Every structure is written in C-alpha cells, then in structure tokens.
Structure 1
Amino acid sequence: MDKSLNTEQVSVEPQEKRAAKPVDRPFLAMLGMLIGGFVGMLSETSLNIALPSLIAELHVSIGTMQWLVTGYMLVIGIVLPMSSLLQRIFSTRSLILFALCDFIVGAVISAVAPNFAILLIGRMIQGIATGLILPLMFTVATLIFPPYKLGAAMGMIGLVIMFAPAVGPTLAGMILGLLSWHWIFWLFIPFLVVAFILAAKFLPNVGDISKPKIDWLSIILSAIGFGGLVAGVNLASDSGWGSPAVIGTLVVSLLVLAWYIRRQLASKTPILNFRVFKKSQFTTGSILVMLDFAIILSSMYLLPMFWQNGLAIPVALTGIVMLPGGIVNAIVSAVAGRFSDTISTKLLTTLGFGITIVGLILLLLASSTSPMWYVILAHIVIMMGVPLAMSPAQTFGLGALDQQTSGDGSTIMNTFQQIIGAMATAIATSLLAFGSSAAGNVSHRIAFTNGVHVGLWFTLIVAIAALLLSLTIKGQKWA
C-alpha cells in the first residue's frame, strides 16, 4: 500500500510545474498559429524591397506607397486591442481558423490587385488576421506550456516575430528577380493552407468563453485612438509634421486614447486591462519589446531601399545580400528564448541592444560607395542584437503576470508593439524624405544615402533609449 502511494506521488507533477491547460502535444497545437504568425510578420516587411518598383508601376508617391506598410499595421493596431474581448466571446480555435481564412482572402485580393487602392484593401484584410493571430500565440503558449518551458516557447514565438520581418526582403527580392510583385502574395497562400490544416487538426480550444457585455463605446474609442495615432504619423510623411491636419489628427487621437484608457481602468470588465501596468516588471518588459520592434521595422524599412537607391544594387541581388543577416537572426532568435530560462534578462537585453547600437553605427558610417561586404556586416550585427533582446524581454514582462492577466498582458504588449512599429516606420519615412531633400545639389545616390542616415539616427536614438532602460532592470543577477 505504501509502495502504491509513493508511486502515485512520483507520477503526479508538482502544481507549479504544470501547464494551466495541459495538452498532449503543445508544439503541434502551436504549429498552425506559428506558421500563420510567421506569414503575418513576413508580410510586414516583404513589400519594403518592392516599394521602388511599385512606386514606378502604380504611379504614386513614396508617402502614399508607405500606406501599404503602415496601413497593414494600422488595422493590426485596431484589431489587437479587441482580441481579449473576442477570446471571451469565441473559442480560440474558431478565431485562429477564421484568421487564417481571412488572410488567404486578403492575399488573393492583393495578388490580383490591378491598382493601388485594391492592393491596399487586400493588405488591410490581411492585417485583420495578423491582429488576431499575434496575441493568441502568446495567450495559448502561456496556457499550454508549463512555466519552466515558457522561455523556450517564447523563443519559438520570438523566432516568428523577429526572423520573419528580417527575412521578408530577402524572399521578396528573390521573387522579384524572377517574377512580379504579385507573386509575393501568391507565395503566402500555400503556407496559410498548411497552417489551417494543422490548426484544424491539432489546436484545441484552451480559452474560457464568458460572453461578456460588449462595450461599444470603448471599441469605437479604441479604433479612433489607436488608428488615428498611426494615421497622423503616416500623414506627416507627405504633409510634414507642421501640417494642421497632422497636428489635429495626433491631438485628437491622443485625447481619445486617454479617454479610452481611463474608461478601461474604471471598468470591471475592460476590453484591455491596463491595470497590468501596475506591475513594474511587466511595464519594463513591454517597453523593451516595443523599442526593439521599432528598431527592427525602421531599419528593415530603410535598408532595402538603401541597397537599391544608395548603392545601386539590383532588386534581386538586394534579397540575396540581406540573406546572411536573416540567417543570423533566425539562429539567435531560436536560442535566445532558451537562454532566457538560465541567463538573466538584464544581461541578455543589455548585450542585445549594445550589439544593435554597434551595427547601427556601422550603417551610419556607410556611404554610397561603401563595399558590399561592409553593409552586409553591419546588417548581420544588427540582426544579432535585436533578437537577442526580444525573447528575454517578452518572457520577463509576461512572467510578472498570473494566468488570469497573462492574456491581457500579451494583447497589450502586441498592440503597442504594432502601434510603435507603425509609427517608427512612418517617422523613418519622413526623415528619409527630409534627409534626401536637405542633401542639396548632389547625385540621387548621395542624396538618398543622406536620407537613410537621417532615418537611421532615429533608430539609433531608440536603441540607446532601450539600452539605458535595460540597465534599470532590478532583482536579476548578470549571470
């Protein structure tokens, strides 16, 4: 009898080591979402390399064309804040399957688009899907993986979030070297179909449906606040920061956003639970993630155009020369999550942002006559730094929350990550235009290079701010 009792005690896993919602094969349960998330994040930067060609083919300005990038993130920023509410109304499985179908529809519309307007509509439909998938990846991971494996799980998600934007220009460049830009979107579809099949077969519903009362006013305030903020910054690319329309849009958006946040704090069942910011650890981790994402999106927006317009590299070759950085990004993203289980967040994030700063300085020293290997090296250094900081910062921030608030935390983190990313891209665009025009009577290559440098100064300032913030992390040893 004693022996059987001992056997039972050994076979039962301690409570603190169990997942909140155990599943038999958690990786397979996540795989469909991971592929969908990868395609969603790939879509954020895959068009960057095609922008010069699209500007010429569709006859629009660079500021208008930028809407293909920031408009996509604008929709993500509107949908993301509602994901926590949607998870209480619909099952996580249903939301993921809907998102994957929605992405396929958006990709088909974009692939057959005859003009800029239809292409933008297709992109924005895709944004709905990405806005649903991103927070669900984090929510499901925190529920189906035990705490001691959460770092590795975040490493998988980090690989998706960091590697996809880094490798997007490479894949797009290779496609453009052989085919037209339409095939960038056709490429998404087989991956999305595979993701749908995997999710339909292996993904169970792990959420709790409570059918809360819908606060329609908060939804409207959220769409106006978050959407207007991105739209205002984006308008500055064409109209300038001193434009009354830009200033008015930003002021109204900030006031509406403040109203929205205040309403959420006063609500017993908020759409976004901003009370999680009372946890200083979550606040620090979230800000680090946002700044890291601003670095990757702004640099990945500027670099492909620098290759083509500053260094006069053909579009197909641009994709190839960006491949080494993408490979390094994948390797570092894959191991950074595992490191975060054993090495302090302070050490990893500080090292990551420090390496990123070195890479950005190398790029700032590049000119229109710099050798190809030098720019490749600078890109590799940046791609080592940004993923090294991302997964530890995510794990650190979400680790401060309990199971009841982890979903809210991941949604807030992803929402502001996309908003900050869209704003960083828009700011980089306006600085690129300003720097190019301020170069004076010089060749196009030199003027464009000057514009890239002005944009990269913004990225460098963001990286320095992130480094300084990582040094304030308390309660963790350096090793």
Structure 2
Amino acid sequence: MSKTQQINTRPEHPILSLLGVLIGGFVGMFSETSLNIALPSIMKAFGIETGTAQWLVTGYMLVIAIVLPLSSLLTKHFSTRGLVRFGLLDFIVGSAISALATNFPVLLAGRMIQGIATGIILPLMFSTAMRIFPPNKLGAALGMAALVIMFAPAIGPTISGIILGALSWRFIFASFIIFLLIGWFIMEKNLTNVFEVTKPKVDWLAIALSTISFGLIVFGISFLSKNLAIALIALVIGIIFLVVYIRQQLHAKTPTLDFSVLKTPEFLTGSVLVMINFGITLSAMYLLPMYLQNGLGVAVALTGVVMLPGGVINAIVSFGAGRAYDKIGAKLMSRLGFLISIIGSAMFLFSNSNSSLGYIIAAHIVLMIGVPLAMSPSQTYGLNSLDAYQSADGSAIINTFQQVIGAVATGIATILLSTGQSNYFANGGHSAKLAFTNGAHYGFMFTLILAAFGFILAFRVHNKGKETVKAEASEKATSPDKEAATDMN
C-alpha cells in the first residue's frame, strides 16, 4: 500500500463522493446509444456506408470490452482519484477529437479513446459505491449506479435526436464534454480514495489473453451480419482464448480478475439477470429509433421526443428500485420487473405501421418500468453476496460480460431486422415501411424471448432472513481490514 495514500471508505457525504464517478459513467453509457440516431447524418457527412459508420458503435464497445477486465487490476496499482481523473480527462480528449474530426478515421480514433475511459469508470462506479455506503443503504447506492446503466442508454436517442434537430452530430460530442467537466469538478472536491494500492505483480500473459479473447468475441459478434465466415472464425478463436484465460486466472496466485466469484450462486444468478436486462435495453434502444423513423415515418427530432417519457420513467423507477431493495429484497422485484418487460415487448410486437404514437409511447413506458425494476435488485443481489474485498472483481466481471452481451444483443437484433425485411420482400411485399416493420417485429420477438428467460431465471432469486443479511453485512464491512492486516503480516 502506498504510504502517501489515505484510504477513506466512509466519507461524510457518500453521495457527493460518488457523484463525479456517476456522471462519468452516465456519459459513457449515454454515448453507447446516442450515436445510433446520428449515424445517417455522419454517413452523409463523410460519404461512408452503414457498415463503416457502425464501427463508431462497434469500435467503442470493442475497446470497453478490452479495458473492463483490467479495471480490478488498475484499482490495485493506482489511486481511486487518479483513475477517475484519468478516465474523465481521457473521455474529454476523445470527445473533442470526435467533435472536431474532419474525416472518419479521426472520428473513429476519438471514439475508441472514449471507450478506454468508459472501461475504467463503469466498474469503479459499482465497486466504489459498495465501499463507501453502509450495508443498510447499499440497495439505494447501487440503485443510483443502476440508474446510470439503464437511464443513460434509454435517454441517449432522445437527447441526441433533439440535438440533431436543432444543431448537428458534432454537438452530441460537445455535450459529452460539458457533462464531463461538471463531473470532474465534483470529483476533485469530493471523491476519496477507497482502494488500497498494493501493486501486485502484473501478469502480462493474463492481460494478453484477456485482450485477445474479449476483443475477438466482440469483433466476431459485430461481423455476424456482414461476413459470417469471418465472424465465426473470430468467435471460435475468441472463446478458446477466453476459456484459457479463465482457467489461467483460476489457478493464478494473484489473479488479474478473480473468476472464483462466479462460484457464488447468488452472484452468478444476479450477474446473468443483469446481462439479460442489458441485452433487452440495448436491443430495444437499437430497434426503436429506427422503427419510429423507417416504420412509422416519424421525423428525427420528434423521435427523441417520443422516447422521452419512457426515459424519464426509467430514471424514476431505477432510483426507486434501489431503495425498495433495502426494504423488500430482490425476489419479488426481479420477477415483477421481467414480467412487465414481457408485456412491454409484446406490445411492441403487436404494433404496426399504423399504430399511434400514443401506443408506441405506452409500450416504451411499460418496458422502461420493467427493465430497471429488475436491474437494480439483480445487481445488488449479486454483488452483495460477495465479500467487500471481492467487490472490484465482481463489478469488473459483471460490467465486462454486460458489454459483451450488449454487443451480442445488438448484433442479433441487426440480423433479425435484416432477415425480417428480406422475408417480407421474398413473400411479394413492396412497401419499404412494411418491410422495416416486419423486421422490427423479428427484433422485438428477441427482446420478448430475453425477458421470458429472465423471468424464469428470476425464480432462482431468494431473499435471506434479515438477521442473516445483517450478520453477513457486518462481516463484509470488516473483510478489507482483515485482508489488509493479513497482507501486511
């Protein structure tokens, strides 16, 4: 541990201490969906095709997937404040490069720089929250982090649609910088260092295996709709490297990422539920803006307005779900959340090109109630089952596979959208609007299947007795100190 670093896991104002990190995480997740609606404008500006423009989304997720598994190691080598400061500055630089880009390669480079920042900040959001909030308020704390994860991608198309209607796509990146500067100011005044800098030996083989495996998996997924042969080769090699990486880490004395946390049943169940939820969110947020514009003929600026009510509801439910977890636990909330998501997905499935905007808004609101209602309790349920010193590893694992599942869900939604359109024309159809509607239905069927699977899996979630939870919480609160004492001896 660094002699000059002061550790404070119980700051006087934990919400203020976490706020700067939350803002950084919000921008990272917001940017994940905000560009979907801007891709046509960017394609026109640089004279590029859809497949090329899509790399602004794919490349961003690729870098995130590579950096995320290293986040736990980074917390052991650098101070909390230093990591967050670097992440925010890195995102500001990347956003400025993208906003001022005069050609597509420069724009993409800026985008990938932003991915580095998001890969650092996202897991820090959850692991820091687990360190600085008392056990009886952990649900509310992780609820705020879940709000960022769910609300930001849900509101992304709304805000970017409004910006595009009034200005240009460059101002989307400029908006990132404004939020990030606010987050930096708050962080400098309030964030404390919450992780011990022990500087364990760096396992370069593990870093190489992690980079290759997650990089190839996300790359392969992104190519499923473009070149199936390349996609399958990348996926197979990536999965092989991932298996080797996990086995190597399970036998390492000081693992870069402690996969043994997956042996905790509650953590494994909670993690899978979170990934399913994120898959529902990203696939729906990918499909809905395009469905509104190409299937229902809604203008770009109005598309953002139509999606606003659902985004607001998402924020309210995300925040409330975290607080509710502290009172009633995850069992009822996770099941109810996925059940409502099933209803919302079904409503989209039964919509058509003649559906009113009121119906679409209602379907979006229902989905945006269900997803966050299950998200925060599932995340808290999983992370709360771990010892405090495992929180960084648990958070890194959830966020890493969350991004991979997000890429998988978006890739599958893209394939289904294209398949539905092709089938419509193959059956003698001639309307582009009806073709897109048919493709969107294929995609929404996928979100319905995900929600149904989540609902079934949620029956593995069980609330523990209050006394057991209190005892475990007390033990977890002292675990880091015990670990530190052991290390120093």
- Other-structure match for 1:317: 302
Quick one: which amino acid aligns to residue 234 of structure 1? S
- Other-structure match for 2:285: 300
Closer, same or farther in 2 for the Cα pair 1:20/1:92, shift >3 Å? closer
Provide the C-alpha distance between the structure 1 equivalents of 2:230 and 2:312, rounded to a whole number of angstroms: 42
Provide the C-alpha distance between the structure 2 equivalents of 1:374 and 1:150, rounded to a whole number of angstroms: 36
Q: CA deviation at 1:475?
A: 4.8
Provide the C-alpha distance between the structure 2 equivalents of 1:474 and 1:380, rounded to a whole number of angstroms: 28
The CA deviation string for residues 318-368 of structure 1, in whole angstroms up to 9 with x for no partner, is: 011111101111110110000001113111011101101101111011111
Please tell me whether the aligned partners of residues 139 and 380 of structure 2 are also in contact (alpha carbons under 8 angstroms). Answer: yes
- Other-structure match for 1:195: 183
Q: Note the 1:7-18 alignment, pairs <5 A.
A: none
- Other-structure match for 2:477: none
What is the RMSD computed on CA atoms of the aligned residues?
A: 1.4
- Other-structure match for 2:239: 254
Instruction: From 393, 401, 419, give the equivalent of 2:404.
Output: 419
Q: CA deviation at 1:154?
A: 0.8
Provide the secondary structure at the position in 1 that maps to 2:202: coil
- Other-structure match for 1:448: 436
2:222 maps to 1:237: no
Of 446-455 and 391-400, deviating more is 446-455
- Other-structure match for 1:36: 24
The CA deviation string for residues 208-246 of structure 1, in whole angstroms up to 9 with x for no partner, is: 11111111111111011011101001011212xxx3211
Instruction: From 329, 332, 357, give the equivalent of 2:314.
Output: 329
- Other-structure match for 1:164: 152
Q: Provide the identity percentage.
A: 57
Instruction: From 126, 129, 135, give the equivalent of 2:117.
Output: 129
- Other-structure match for 1:4: none
Q: CA deviation at 1:58?
A: 3.2
2:459 maps to 1:471: yes
- Other-structure match for 1:11: none
Quick one: which amino acid aligns to residue 419 of structure 2? F
Q: CA deviation at 1:64?
A: 2.9
Provide the C-alpha distance between the structure 2 equivalents of 1:404 and 1:183, rounded to a whole number of angstroms: 41
Instruction: From 342, 345, 352, give the equivalent of 1:367.
Output: 352
Provide the C-alpha distance between the structure 2 equivalents of 1:218 and 1:301, rounded to a whole number of angstroms: 33
Please tell me whether the aligned partners of residues 330 and 463 of structure 2 are also in contact (alpha carbons under 8 angstroms). Answer: no
Instruction: From 100, 106, 128, give the equivalent of 2:94.
Output: 106
Please tell me whether the aligned partners of residues 63 and 429 of structure 1 are also in contact (alpha carbons under 8 angstroms). Answer: no
Please tell me whether the aligned partners of residues 33 and 137 of structure 1 are also in contact (alpha carbons under 8 angstroms). Answer: yes
Provide the secondary structure at the position in 1 that maps to 2:386: coil
- Other-structure match for 2:81: 93
Closer, same or farther in 2 for the Cα pair 1:251/1:455, shift >3 Å? same
Instruction: From 131, 153, 158, give the equivalent of 2:141.
Output: 153
Q: How many residues align?
A: 456
Q: CA deviation at 1:476?
A: 5.1
Q: CA deviation at 1:202?
A: 1.2
Q: CA deviation at 1:60?
A: 3.1
Please tell me whether the aligned partners of residues 8 and 193 of structure 2 are also in contact (alpha carbons under 8 angstroms). Answer: no
Please tell me whether the aligned partners of residues 276 and 405 of structure 1 are also in contact (alpha carbons under 8 angstroms). Answer: yes
Quick one: which amino acid aligns to residue 399 of structure 1? N
2:66 maps to 1:78: yes
Q: Note the 1:268-307 alignment, pairs <5 A.
A: 268-307=253-292
- Other-structure match for 2:195: 207
Provide the C-alpha distance between the structure 2 equivalents of 1:275 and 1:178, rounded to a whole number of angstroms: 50
Of 107-116 and 376-385, deviating more is 107-116
Please tell me whether the aligned partners of residues 38 and 160 of structure 1 are also in contact (alpha carbons under 8 angstroms). Answer: yes
Please tell me whether the aligned partners of residues 331 and 463 of structure 2 are also in contact (alpha carbons under 8 angstroms). Answer: no
2:61 maps to 1:68: no
Q: CA deviation at 1:26?
A: 0.9
Provide the secondary structure at the position in 2 that maps to 1:213: coil
Provide the C-alpha distance between the structure 2 equivalents of 1:194 and 1:313, rounded to a whole number of angstroms: 34
Provide the C-alpha distance between the structure 2 equivalents of 1:382 and 1:330, rounded to a whole number of angstroms: 13
Please tell me whether the aligned partners of residues 8 and 192 of structure 2 are also in contact (alpha carbons under 8 angstroms). Answer: no
Please tell me whether the aligned partners of residues 238 and 430 of structure 1 are also in contact (alpha carbons under 8 angstroms). Answer: no
- Other-structure match for 1:9: none
Provide the C-alpha distance between the structure 1 equivalents of 2:254 and 2:317, rounded to a whole number of angstroms: 39
Provide the C-alpha distance between the structure 2 equivalents of 1:20 and 1:54, rounded to a whole number of angstroms: 45
Instruction: From 307, 318, 326, give the equivalent of 1:341.
Output: 326
- Other-structure match for 1:8: none
Instruction: From 173, 176, 179, give the equivalent of 2:164.
Output: 176
- Other-structure match for 1:458: 446
Structure 1 residues not aligned, in runs of 5+: 1-18
